[in-house]
A and B are shown apart, each in its own frame.
Chain A
Amino acid sequence: MKRTVPLMIVMVGGILMILQYFIPHQISQTVLAYYTDWAPIILAFALVLGVGSLTRIHSHKIRRKAKNWQYSYAVLIPLFGMPILAHIWPASLSGGMDSPSIFHFLFMHVQVPIQATMFSLLAFYIASAAFRAFRAKSALATLLLLAAVVVMLGQVPIGELFGRWLPETGLWILRYPNLAAKRAIMLGVGFGMLATNLKIIFGVERNWLGGAGK
């Protein structure tokens, strides 16, 4: 009941969905329709687990007055405030096009800019990563460095000052050796995925049940 039934569910669900792919008949389409209907509903409930964990860890911090405990209020208040606000102004879920509300404000003017800014930190980090990592320490590292520099220069207008060959070489590297590397990784990863799919469906890999191995 505790282990066998979940393993059975996995096996039946997995085999059913594999077969479903090869059968165009309406019964098979009905199965797919049920799956696409149900999966998002079941998945949606999982968020409760996350919220539970978040609440527990931050209320713990506050209770124990752990280091930086004050900030935990900054998590807990909006965590429960947002759904409540959304309930009061239910129409304001979409970004940008609706009437102003606190919910909309917090999303559009706090969450969106912070996320975009986090994303843009990459511009700084990619520079410092390039400085630290691109050292011609070995033949391999030199290859990495040269490929990166050629492609970088080929991208920007200033690279054209070196002549037409530079952007063309950059594109050539992207189109051929780069493709070869990506394709080989994709093939290997593809087989790894397929094998893992099978291992899970047939109960060989079962650490998702909790606890490694047996």
Chain B
Amino acid sequence: MSAVNIWERMLNIDRRWIFLGIGIVSIVPFFINFGMPVRTTIEVESIYDYVDELGSENAIFISFDFAPGTQAENMPMAVAVMRHAFYNDVPVFMTANWPLHHGMMLAAMEYVFNPTTEGFYQDIDFDDWRELREAGVTAKGDLVDAWESQGNQLPDGAMGWVFEGRDYAALGYAPVFNLVILGMTISIETQYPIDAHENALGEMPMLQEHKSLREVDLTLTCSGSAACEWWITYAREKIGMPVAFGVTAVSATDYFPYLQTGQVIGQMGGLRGAAEYEVLLAENGITSSTDKAFTGMDVQSVAHILIILLIIMGNIAFFAGGFHKKALLKEGR
């Protein structure tokens, strides 16, 4: 077998080997953690710093504007900011702009509240603390004291209590969502008389303190499409509401102009953006460790390296085999 033949065979490699390679390098890092450091960028730090400044008198919106297809990128962003807010007792309103995205919101809550998740938050149903609420105990500190004095104990491993209606409200999906945003600039309650669990919003202490988007300090839109622009058009441009983007890597470049003009306070781009937020949370002790996005970055590193190796090999074979002088190769498999 001549040397040229080896190069030729390399160039005409059955692409199923490439598929197999990508498959393997994408699975392995889930079992072996490399934990390669992720450097944080100013775009993500500015969201982190902004949220970090907030306290229980503030409130934020997290909008789930993504479908299961881009879940791997968008979900960790929402989860990370949710945790950050809960840690600082910032009330969180959660919305979704499409029926399918409503399911994503529920999945995020299930993850953060699930006792098997590391650093979970113990969720208290709206109905379970009705008595305390009706007795007028609504401030977070008092509420926790009163709740614990009733004999409730924080489970092992939990980061803290979250009270539905005090710390979060799952508003979910409402039709024609761009108009819903517009309506919420006036009143949240008229758009969502009840939340996804059919609790009356009017009874929620967090709503009484934050009646419209004007009284909310930030919206994070985790978006797999151009829906994030709705928040700019209908909330930022109309009432000057601060908006942060959590978008997929593919659309991240499109939104740099918004950052430049200050219409967006910060942006998490793709899995990397989410990983950066996780790193910031872990570094500041808000979570004990990083999460899915950070693990995913190992996959990214390895997969990128594999692709670059493939490109280099392809070029070596191409030149070493002298194909740059020759006619076209026959097509692969």
Chain A residues near B (Cβ < 8 Å): 93-97, 108, 112-113, 115-116, 119, 123-124, 126-128, 130-132, 134-137, 145, 148-149, 152-153, 155-160, 167, 174-175, 178
Contacts and interface: CB of A to CB of B under 8 A. Distances in A.
A135 B308 CA distance: 12
10 contacts: A96-B100, A97-B102, A97-B172, A97-B196, A126-B307, A134-B315, A135-B315, A153-B304, A155-B249, A157-B38
A97 to B, nearest CB: 5
Contacts of B253: 174, 178
Interface string B118-157: 0000000000000000000000000000000000000000
Given A96-B106, A158-B304, A123 B22 contact: yes
B311 A131 contact: yes
A94 B102 contact: yes
Which 7 A-B pairs give the minimum distances between C-beta atoms? A96-B103, A94-B99, A157-B36, A158-B301, A95-B100, A131-B310, A128-B15
Interface of B: 13, 15, 18-19, 21-23, 26, 36-39, 68-69, 99-100, 102-103, 106, 172-173, 196, 249, 253, 256, 272, 297-298, 300-308, 310-311, 313-315, 318-319, 324, 332
Contact of A127 (B38, B196, B301, B307): B307
Contacts, number: 113
Contacts of B13: 131
Contacts of A156: 272, 297, 300-301, 304-305
B297 A123 contact: no
Contacts of B21: 127
A95 B107 CA distance: 13
Contacts of A116: 68-69
Contact of B311 (A113, A134, A167): A134
B77 to A, nearest CB: 17
A149 B204 CA distance: 52
A175 B318 CA distance: 32
A8 B300 CA distance: 55
B22 A127 contact: yes
Nearest to A117: B69
A123 B13 CA distance: 18
A127 B13 CA distance: 13
A158 B251 CA distance: 23
Nearest to A115: B69
A94 B13 CA distance: 45
Contacts of A158: 36, 301-302, 304-305
Contacts of A148: 311
Contacts of A145: 311, 315
Given A95-B99, A112-B100, A156-B304, 11 more contacts: A123-B22, A127-B306, A128-B19, A135-B315, A136-B319, A149-B311, A153-B304, A156-B301, A157-B36, A157-B300, A158-B301
A115 B100 CA distance: 13
Given A157-B301, A158-B301, A160-B37, A137 B324 contact: yes
A34 B268 CA distance: 39
Contacts of A157: 36-39, 297-298, 300-301
Contacts of A155: 249, 272, 300, 304
Contacts of B305: 156, 158
A119 B67 CA distance: 12
Given A127-B307, A145-B311, A158-B304, A95 B102 contact: yes
B102 A123 contact: no
A137 B301 CA distance: 27
Contacts of B173: 94, 97
A97 B100 CA distance: 9
Nearest to B304: A156
A208 B249 CA distance: 37
Contacts of A130: 307, 310-311
A136 B317 CA distance: 11
A175 B43 CA distance: 14
A96 B68 CA distance: 11
Nearest to B196: A97
Given A127-B307, A135-B314, A156-B304, A97 B103 contact: yes
Given A124-B23, A134-B314, A155-B300, A112 B324 contact: no
B271 to A, nearest CB: 10
Given A94-B102, A155-B300, A158-B36, A128 B308 contact: no
Contacts of B302: 158
A139 B235 CA distance: 47
